[in-house]
């Protein structure tokens, strides 16, 4: 009964369409799990705490999938939950839960499946609404809905937007609203979390038309494997010419998750590339001889800047700028103060915001505020000498994704703040770092959908990319 009341409260809050919570609350479930007759309490509670971070807080949305990888009958569900789908990033829960408990999770999903289509979308996001934050009204302007998973967004000085779709398409939206697909994009390994990832334009794009893409690349020698690579080409009309990979993270792995990856330029024209641990947490992030679990820094031709922190050290990948990262999904730059911000996914709990400095170790998996998805503990340490503390962390994890540092005059009230998306709870997170190091958070646009990408464009507007269904919005301050 308790959380029925809670659901109601949330719906009321939502009907006002705005949230002004400058509190330090960590994100509790905006939608509590539904209660069902005949299903023991265990399943909804376990789903909310152990499955929702990857499958979404509303189990009905999970059960609504059209193509089940493994079949949607009870035996198939029990099999997958027990054994996991290791290469895809689905953990095995056998040994963590009893057979009865796993069966009750399967029942819970099956019952939700029966409800799909019958439940009212009473809490659907209204993108025509006005949103208030600290007395200021904001509106969303739909830029395009001709996208599926808008992973990355970039903008040239003439206002043209470039949007990657994880399925492998790159589109160009001109200022007058016309949309064109760009050809000459590399073929991507669109599996699991992989595909076409970020897009970025050369700081001298007006002169050289160079465009950069990060993507999941097939191992040319073994199609079962992939890794993150950075591709560079020149835009000619609506096609990319002279395209080539300027940087490839080695080695290739069969795993289909934790690719990173964001692209960011600093004021000296150096390019930062993030890559996750590729699901090999005990091998990669702490080993400076391997690429994954790092933030790298390269020149625009892929060569190594001579003042990179590990240049000249034997056995070390010279493009490494910082290490001990799990899966960095956001990079943002405060140009005026030359500060690089990063956000990354923790495991169950422990999403982080970090300030990235050269040569530093951010601790994964030696220190973490999270635990394994299946509830087991892999480290009891949250701090260690020689390892950086996050500026901020979230428990439970919000599924942090995309990032921008706001310094545009278009949003005076947000200046100096960080924007991060929440995939899991589906809102835009505004993080204000106070003088005493404390952090204040505001949740904007609740229930907007899985928020994947954020850009402060060359025109000073903020753009956000959302999934399910795919949309890109421009944020307008009224």
Residues marked as catalytic: 258
Pick the binder of ligand HEC from 34, 63, 103, 105 (CB under 6 A).
105
Pick the binder of ligand HEC from 13, 54, 116, 433 (CB under 6 A).
54
Alpha helices, DSSP H, located in 187-303: 205-208
Q: In whole angstroms, what is the distance from residue 315 CA to residue 295 CA? A: 17
Quick one: tokens of 133?
């934050």
Shortest distance, position 242 Cβ to ligand HEC, whole Å: 36
Pick the binder of ligand HEC from 18, 39, 40, 55 (CB under 6 A).
55
Does residue 57 touch ligand HEC according to CB under 6 A? no
Q: Considering beta carbons, is residue 76 or 300 the nearer one to ligand HEC?
A: 76
H or E element, residue 140: strand 136-144
CA distances for 434 relative to 24, 391, 413, 416, 441, angstroms: 12, 11, 14, 10, 11
Does residue 53 touch ligand HEC according to CB under 6 A? yes
Does residue 240 touch ligand HEC according to CB under 6 A? no
Shortest distance, position 147 Cβ to ligand HEC, whole Å: 19
Shortest distance, position 274 Cβ to ligand HEC, whole Å: 19
Shortest distance, position 255 Cβ to ligand HEC, whole Å: 11
Does residue 48 touch ligand HEC according to CB under 6 A? no
H or E element, residue 60: helix 59-63
CB 162 within 8 A of CB 180: no
- Binders in 70-89 for ligand HEC, by CB under 6 A: 70, 77, 80-81, 85, 88-89
74-83 helix and 99-115 helix, angle to the nearest 10 degrees: 130
Does residue 239 touch ligand HEC according to CB under 6 A? no
Q: Considering beta carbons, is residue 46 or 261 the nearer one to ligand HEC?
A: 46
Does residue 104 touch ligand HEC according to CB under 6 A? no
Respond yes or no on whether the N-terminal peptide bond of residue 251 is cis (omega within 30° of 0).
yes
Does residue 371 touch ligand HEC according to CB under 6 A? no
Helix/strand/coil for 305:
coil
Does residue 150 touch ligand HEC according to CB under 6 A? no
Q: Which stretch binds ligand HEC (CB under 6 A): 69-77, 207-215, 274-282, 334-342?
A: 69-77
The label of the residue with tokens 């096609």 reads 239
Rounded (10°) CA dihedral 381, 391, 352, 13: 120
Name all contacts of 376-382 with Cβ < 8 Å and 24+ positions apart.
376/96, 378/281, 378/347
Does residue 16 touch ligand HEC according to CB under 6 A? no
Q: Considering beta carbons, is residue 105 or 367 the nearer one to ligand HEC?
A: 105
Q: In whole angstroms, what is the distance from residue 172 CA to residue 156 CA? A: 10
> Interface residues with ligand HEC (CB under 6 A)?
46, 50-51, 53-55, 65, 68-70, 77, 80-81, 85, 88-91, 93, 105, 373
């Amino acid at each position: 009964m308790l959380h029925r009341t809670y659901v109601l409260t949330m719906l009321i809050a939502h009907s006002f369409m705005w949230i002004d919570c400058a509190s330090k609350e960590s994100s509790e479930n905006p939608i509590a799990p539904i209660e069902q007759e005949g299903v023991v309490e265990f399943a909804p509670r376990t789903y909310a705490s152990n499955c929702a971070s990857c499958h979404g807080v509303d189990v009905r949305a999970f059960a609504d999938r059209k193509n089940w990888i493994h079949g949607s009958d009870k035996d198939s569900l029990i099999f997958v939950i027990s054994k996991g789908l290791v290469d895809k990033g689905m953990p095995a829960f056998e040994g963590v839960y009893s057979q009865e408990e796993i069966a009750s999770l399967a029942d819970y999903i099956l019952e939700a499946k029966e409800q799909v289509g019958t439940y009212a979308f009473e809490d659907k996001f209204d993108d025509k609404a006005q949103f208030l934050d600290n007395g200021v009204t904001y509106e969303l302007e739909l830029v395009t809905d001709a996208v599926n998973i808008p992973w990355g967004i970039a903008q040239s000085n003439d206002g043209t937007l470039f949007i990657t779709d994880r399925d492998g398409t790159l589109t160009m939206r001109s200022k007058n609203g016309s949309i064109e697909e760009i050809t000459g994009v590399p073929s991507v390994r669109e599996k699991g979390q992989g595909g076409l990832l970020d897009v970025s334009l050369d700081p001298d794009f007006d002169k050289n038309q160079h465009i950069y893409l990060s993507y999941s690349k097939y191992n040319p020698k073994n199609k079962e494997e992939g890794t993150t690579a950075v591709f560079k080409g020149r835009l000619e009309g609506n096609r990319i010419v002279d395209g080539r990979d300027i940087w490839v993270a080695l080695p290739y792995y069969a795993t289909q998750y934790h690719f990173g990856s964001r692209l960011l330029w600093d004021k000296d024209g150096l390019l930062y590339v993030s890559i996750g641990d590729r699901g090999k947490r005990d091998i990669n992030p702490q080993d400076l001889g391997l690429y994954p679990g790092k933030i790298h820094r390269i020149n625009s031709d892929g060569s190594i800047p001579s003042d990179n922190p590990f240049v000249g050290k034997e056995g070390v990948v010279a493009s490494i700028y910082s290490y001990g990262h799990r899966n960095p999904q956001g990079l943002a730059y405060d140009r005026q103060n030359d500060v690089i911000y990063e956000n990354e996914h923790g495991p169950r709990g422990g999403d982080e915001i970090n300030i990235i400095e050269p040569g530093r170790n951010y601790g994964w998996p030696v220190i973490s505020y999270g635990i394994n998805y299946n509830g087991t503990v892999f480290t009891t340490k949250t701090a260690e000498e020689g390892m950086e503390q996050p500026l901020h962390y979230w428990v439970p994890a919000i599924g942090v994704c995309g990032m921008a540092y706001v310094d545009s005059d278009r949003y005076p009230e947000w200046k100096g703040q960080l924007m991060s998306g929440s995939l899991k709870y589906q809102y835009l997170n505004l993080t204000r770092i106070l003088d005493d190091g404390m952090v204040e958070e505001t949740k904007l646009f609740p229930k907007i959908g899985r928020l994947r990408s954020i850009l402060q464009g060359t025109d000073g507007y903020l753009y956000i990319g959302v999934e399910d269904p795919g949309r890109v919005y421009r944020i307008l301050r009224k």
